[in-house]
Amino acid sequence: MFWIKIYNLFGKLGCMRIYENVLVEIISKQNVPKHVAVIMDGNRRAAKLLGIEATNGHQLGANKVKDLIEWCVLLDIKVITIYAFSLENFNRSDDEVYTLMKLFEKEFENLSENKYIYEKGIKVKAIGKLEKLPEKVRDSIEKVEKLTENNKNYYLNIAISYGGQQEIIDAVKNIAKDVKDGNINIEDINEELVSKNLYTKDLPHPEPDLIIRTSGEERISNFLTWQSCYSELYFCESNWPQFRKVDFLRSIRDYQKRNRRYGK
Binding residues for substrate, by number, are: 42-45, 58, 86-88, 90, 92, 213, 219-221
> In sequence order, what are the residues at sequence separation of 6 or more whose Cβ sits closer than 8 angstroms to the Cβ of residue 55?
47, 99
89 given a catalytic annotation: yes
Q: Point out the catalytic residue in the list 8, 31, 41, 95.
A: 41
Residues making up the annotated binding site are: 41-45, 58, 86-88, 90, 92, 213, 219-221, 232
Cα dihedral: 188, 191, 197, 203 (round 10): -130
> In sequence order, what are the residues at sequence separation of 6 or more whose Cβ sits closer than 8 angstroms to the Cβ of residue 116?
66, 69, 70, 122
- Rounded to an integer, what distance in angstroms lies between the CA atom of residue 77 and that of residue 157? 13
Bridge partners of residue 79, in order along the sequence? 35, 155
Q: Point out the catalytic residue in the list 56, 63, 89, 190.
A: 89
41 given a catalytic annotation: yes
Residues making up the annotated binding site for Mg(2+) are: 41, 232
Residue 68, SS3 per DSSP: helix
Contact by Cβ (8 Å): 23, 75? no
Residues belonging to the active site: 41, 89
